[in-house]
Structure 1
Amino acid sequence: MTEQNTLSAAVTVLRAEQPLTVEMPRCDHYIDGRHLESATGETSEVVDPARGTVLATVPRGGAAEVDAAVAAARAAAPGWAARTPKDRAEVLLALAEALRDDRDRLRTLEALNCGKPPAVTADDVDSAIDTFRFMAGAGRSTTTVAAGDYVEDITSMILREPLGVIGMITPWNYPLLMVAWKLAPALMVGNTIVLKPSEVTPLTTLRLAELADGILPPGVLNIVNGSGSTVGAALSAHPGIDMIALTGSVGAGRSVAGAAAANVVPAHLELGGKAPVLVCPDADLDQVAATVAEAGFWNTGQECGAACRVLAHDSIAEALTEKIVTAVAAYRLAAPEIDQDDTLGPIIYRGHYERVMTAIDAAVDRGAEVLLGARGDDSEGYWIEPTVLKVATGDPISLEEVFGPVVTIETYREESEGVARANETDYGLTASVFTRDVATALSLAKALDFGSVNVNTHLALPTEMPWSGFKHSGYGRDLSAYALDDYSRTKHLALNHART
């Protein structure tokens, strides 16, 4: 039975009498094929964001666990690298099948740990499966410069080799999917891994360790739980790794890149975003409103590519604003056991709830007009209503990442102004343009300084295409065959075949 719990005069949440239940994975470290407790005995609580209750207790590792994990990965690296692409592809396909067979449990773990609605958990798990399948195929046939005699009597060829041991730090908003995005290509080209999942949302990663046990050889995948300041820092600065890969904040990216630079190893960084939606006078406004309502609030806006900043031409701004508010107002806050259309889950943890509410309140204090929402409640879980704000040009909330259920609307007059305003943010991950004119679409897409530009859509993320940013959004490609390049190195082999 479903009931409505009014948490305050402002916020109402749909709940069922019985919350979701699922068997928890083994909550420990996974090093060299073994499940281990921490040497210190310290632990962290994993909290259900829809109710504020404790789901599990996870050990907190430190430098000792990182050292052991790197040593295991280093020992396993030669054997894993020596396997043929066909052999490694078969392992990745076996992992994909294990994920598929465990799909319902993974979805429930993700729902409980992140508060995600059923549509989001289904997409997360299915996309993770597809990533392993794609990389298994793409990694068997890479392309490069053809072998040939570029110098007389010398045949040159390119060898593509694994980097070695990759340190990985994954975020709390898409815990399983972001692991898949990094793990699948890195494994496929022959690397071994030491992975630190978010201490906030580790459950599906720990379940992946159970599923990988017996599929991956010991030491190929190692998982160390703990905080970014302890485990993440130790991993980033470890002299035994050959690359550090991070999905996270700009601040975390700076720290990780600095540690990697000290050891002269590459960093693969997928950081924040502030995606503009540039709406031209001829745009289909119903299409824009529907797209913003979905792409701005998917995963409760806890998405680095969220369509969170609408730049509307002033000739259509009033009509578009009305349509966006109407579309967004259809959402209902709901615990993850509620399987209905148009539901939004909670903010994933308390600290982030406080940051999002601070950003909303500060914008309102500066004069932003609240068109919808802007209220929260953390008495039983961490809930913020879907929020739409009308803001003035240059307001900080339109330039800084909020990472929550907040869309801002502002206007522009000239096309050049719209482009300049869209580009003024420090981020450069993704953007979108809405227009019926092909020439306008192409010229604006080229002018926008973002790694991914969508036309008459937003957040198109096929596995076959790269996901990467410019500016403070980082560098390094997730998804696509380009990711395989990022986790490998090229070696030029020159053979002198002169006959004397």
Structure 2
Amino acid sequence: MTLTDLKPATVQRATGDSLLTPADLPPAGHFIDGSFVTSEAADTTEVVDPSTERVITQVANGTADDVDRAVTAARAAQPAWGALLPKARSELLHRVADRIAEHAEVLVRLESANTGKPLSVAQDDVDGTVDTFRFMAGALRATTSMAAGEYAEDHLSLILREPLGVVGVVTPWNYPLLMAAWKIAPILAAGNTLVIKPSEQTPLSTLKLAELLADIVPAGVLNVVTGLGPVVGAGLTAHPEVDMVALTGSVNSGRAVARGAAESLKRVHLELGGKAPVVVFADANLKATAEALRVAGFYNSGQECGAACRVLVEESVADEFVALFTAQVQQIVVGQPGAGDDVEVGPLVSRAHYDRVTGFLSRAAEAGVRATVGGAALEGTGYFIAPTVLVDVPEGAECARDEIFGPVVTVETFSTEDEAIRRANDTPLGLSASVWTESGRRGHDVVRRLDAGTVWVNAHLVLANEVPWGGFKGSGYGRDLSLYALDDYSRTKHVMHNHARS
């Protein structure tokens, strides 16, 4: 069977009214110095619902002057914000979490309509956003550092943690609200102020967040400028009053930010792409593995940098695993948000990304790669692609090396443990990986040899605010979540007192 022989699944369509009413939408314009303001230019970008291809609204394309206004406001607000006692900042972040929880329902609907993700996935995003602010509210009151002590004779040393100042933030389209929270919460907790540029494709939940928090967060502490990367993102990177740039996005975006920041030697925090290898040994519980990868491979339509998108399975059990996994993926319900609680996979975020992913599938078919399920776009309105499992994937194939970022999982085989590890590491990216085995010794040893920032054993895509998230190699540097994020968004100052009395 080839890709063109496959009969794609259908899209479960919603009936009834739209997810959104006009009152749900945030005000137009940028959020600067505590209020919404008009842009310096009239240029706008259409915000499209990817499940219906209808225009939801339009948002301003910010200019260099808009960026400058926002940075000026953030700079003016930072000294007072940074001078607050940890208790005061903590209490405010708890109020932020409370406000988000109070308005969870509208945020869920905004996120689903703007991204196309199922309501259950959007609900998880909002729940995670609340927990991110609650964790950072507690963590900022319990930061640790090197003990004060006498490390040179007659001199007492102590280490201070200070805010960096103003942080420029660029967030992606796949988790607009949650990725904003992953940046905003530790940045504010550490005493910084910020200017955030959400993706021009999915800005609505970030703008709504600013609207909801306008009476809680002091003016100038949180600013939002919408627009395009080459203008707003580049403007933040080059601005002399921005002390650090934090980006979650593509590898190419990360390179652009790093190049731009090099001129002024800004600190840079990059969480970039992934191509997570999933190493399945013959002694693994294959049924449990297949069930877990149904979620970890296709969550958020596979538009997930840590997705379990590249399976390497020991050849002696490959046929059995592929059969089990294919059966799981065949059961996935594809649909629009609001089409039912059973919907697991929605559309891709945009026409451009849809075309990119279908291009990968076409080239894979031309190269002789076979789909056991899916393998094609779905008919009708919306940017839907059938959940796909690709097999007969040769070593070094494009679909197994490059980040597809869609509902596509490739399956390769290996014969020895050394081969599995070599091939798992044979990618320029190193964000995450997983190992599936019933051998505790093997699990410990293989984890040590895999070149990824997070490695799961008999699990995949399980995250918690208490533990760090970030990659190696082309996946960037810096850590989101956990106390390590607070470290990233602060600086250490060594203070030494000469206490000699002679």
Q: Indicate the TM-score class for this superposition, using the shorter chain for normalisation.
A: over 0.9
AA aligned opposite 1:46: V
Deviations 1:24-71 (A, max 9, x none): 111310011120111111111100000000111111111010010111
Farther-moved stretch of structure 1 (231-240 vs 169-178): 231-240
User: Contact between 1:296 and 1:307, CA under 8 Å: does it hold in 2?
Assistant: yes
Residue 455 of structure 1 aligns with an amino acid whose one-letter code is: V
Partner of 2:320: 319
For the residues of structure 1 that align with 2:166 and 2:476, how far apart are their CA atoms? 21
Match of 1:4 in 2: none
After superposition, the Cα gap between the structure-2 partners of 1:334 and 1:137, relative to the gap in structure 1 and judged at 3 Å, is same
Are 1:430 and 2:432 an aligned pair? yes
Aligned match of 1:441: 443
Higher mean C-alpha displacement, 231-240 vs 485-494: 231-240
What is aligned with 1:472? Answer: 474
1:343 offset after TM fit, Å? 2.5
Taking the aligned partners of 1:27 and 1:301, their CA distance within structure 2 comes to 31
- SS of the equivalent of 2:167 reads strand
Instruction: Name the structure 2 match of 1:360.
Output: 361
CA distance in 2, matches of 1:425, 1:309: 11
- Tell me the distance in 1 between the aligned counterparts of 2:291 and 2:28: 40
Q: Distance in 2 between matches of 1:10 and 1:311?
A: 25
Partner SS, residue 156 of structure 2: strand
Q: Look up the SS of the partner of 1:58 in the other structure.
A: strand
Q: Which residue of 2 aligns with 1:413?
A: 415
Q: Matches of residues 228-377 of structure 1 in structure 2 within 5 Å?
A: 228-377=229-378
| Structure 1 letter corresponding to 2:188 | L
Paired AA for residue 53 in structure 1: R
Q: Deviations over 1:102-133 (max 9, x none)?
A: 00000000010011112211110000100000
Distance 1:339 1:82 in 2: 49
In proportion to residue count, which structure has more strand?
1
Q: 1-side partners of 2:479 and 2:136: how far apart?
A: 13
Q: 2:230 is paired with a residue of what secondary structure? A: helix
Q: 1:295 & 1:58 partners in 2: Cα distance?
A: 33
Q: Which amino acid aligns with 2:428?
A: D
Q: Which moved more, 1:110-119 or 1:123-132?
A: 110-119
- Gaps spanning 5+ residues in structure 2: where? 1-5
- Paired with 2:200 and 2:379, the residues of 1 have a C-alpha distance of 20
- Residue number in structure 2 paired with 1:87: 88
Alignment of 1:453-472 (within 5 A): 453-472=455-474
- Say whether the 8 Å CA contact 1:113–1:203 is kept in structure 2: yes
What is the alpha-carbon distance in structure 2 between the residues aligned to residue 171 and residue 377 of structure 1? 25
Q: Would the alpha carbon gap of residues 50 and 142 (structure 1) be closer, same or farther in structure 2, given more than 3 Å must change?
A: same
The answer to whether the Cα contact below 8 Å between 2:163 and 2:489 also exists between their aligned partners in 1 is yes
Paired position in structure 1 for 2:499? 497
Distance 1:200 1:367, change over 3 A: same
Q: Is the 8 A contact 2:336 2:343 kept in 1?
A: no
Shift of 1:341: 2.5
Rounded Cα–Cα distance in structure 2 between residues aligned with 1:9 and 1:25: 41
Corresponding position: 1:151 with 2:137: no
**What is aligned with 1:115?**
116
Partner of 1:401: 403
Aligned counterpart, 1:32: 33
Instruction: Compute the displacement of 1:217 (Å).
Output: 0.7
CA contact (8 A) 1:433 1:454 kept: yes
CA deviations 1:331-365 (Å, max 9, x no partner) are 12111012323531000111101111101111111
- Look up the equivalent residue of 2:318 and give its one-letter code: A
CA contact (8 A) 2:11 2:378 kept: no
**Aligned-pair distance for 1:211?**
1.2
Following superposition, the deviation at residue 194 of structure 1 comes to 0.6
Tell whether the 8 Å contact from 1:11 to 1:376 is kept in structure 2 after alignment.
Answer: no
How far apart are the structure 2 equivalents of 1:228 and 1:425? 27
Amino acid at match of 1:65: D
Alpha-carbon distance between aligned partners in 1 of 2:395 and 2:88, rounded to the nearest angstrom: 55
For 1:397-454, what per-residue CA distance to the aligned partner results, in whole angstroms no more than 9, with x for missing partners? 1011000000000100010000000000111000000000000000000000000000
Give the SS at the match of 2:232: helix
Q: Secondary structure at the match of 2:12?
A: strand
Work out whether 1:211 is the aligned partner of 2:209: no
CA contact (8 A) 1:429 1:469 kept: yes
Counterparts of 1:51 and 1:482 in 2: how far apart (Å)?
40
C-alpha distance in 1, partners of 2:340/2:27? 28
CA distance in 2, matches of 1:13, 1:27: 33
Deviates more, 1:377-386 or 1:488-497: 377-386
Letter in 2 for 1:430: S
Query: CA offsets, 1:275-303, max 9 Å, x none?
Result: 01100110000111011110000000000
Matches of 1:378 and 1:84, distance apart in 2: 57
Distance 1:125 1:9 in 2: 35
- Describe the SS at the equivalent of 2:11: strand
Q: Pick one of 468, 484, 496 that aligns with 1:482.
A: 484
SS of corresponding position for 2:364: helix
Provide the TM-score with structure 2 as the length reference: 0.97
Q: CA deviation at 1:394?
A: 1.5
What is the aligned partner in structure 2 of residue 105 from structure 1? 106
Structure 1: give runs of 5+ residues left out of the alignment: 1-7
Which shifted more, 231-240 or 303-312?
231-240
Shift of 1:377: 4.2
Aligned to 2:13, the other structure's residue is in SS state: strand
Query: Does structure 1 conserve the Cα–Cα contact (< 8 Å) formed by 2:52 and 2:382?
Result: yes
Matched with 2:3 is: none
Moved more, 430-439 or 110-119: 110-119
Aligned to 1:5: none
User: CA offset at residue 10 of structure 1?
Assistant: 4.0
Q: Is the 8 A contact 1:171 1:198 kept in 2?
A: yes
The answer to which of 130-139 and 26-35 deviates more is 26-35
Residue of structure 1 equivalent to 2:43: 42
Whole-Å separation in 2 of the counterparts to 1:343 and 1:221: 34
Larger mean Cα displacement after TM superposition, 195-204 or 113-122: 113-122
Inter-CA distance 362–129: structure 2 relative to 1 (3 Å threshold): same
Identity of aligned residues (%): 52
Aligned residues: 493
Aligned twin of 1:163: 164
* Residue type of the alignment partner of 1:20: L
Report deviation, 1:16. Answer: 2.3
State the 1:237 CA deviation: 1.1
Contact 1:11 / 1:375 at 8 angstroms: preserved in 2?
A: no
**Aligned partner letter, 1:471:** K
In structure 2, do the counterparts of structure 1 residues 231 and 71 end up closer, same or farther at CA, with 3 Å as the change threshold? Answer: same
**8 Å Cα contact 2:10-2:379 kept in structure 1:** no
Write the mapping of 1:43-82 to structure 2, written as runs, cut at 5 A: 43-82=44-83
SS in 2 for 1:141: coil
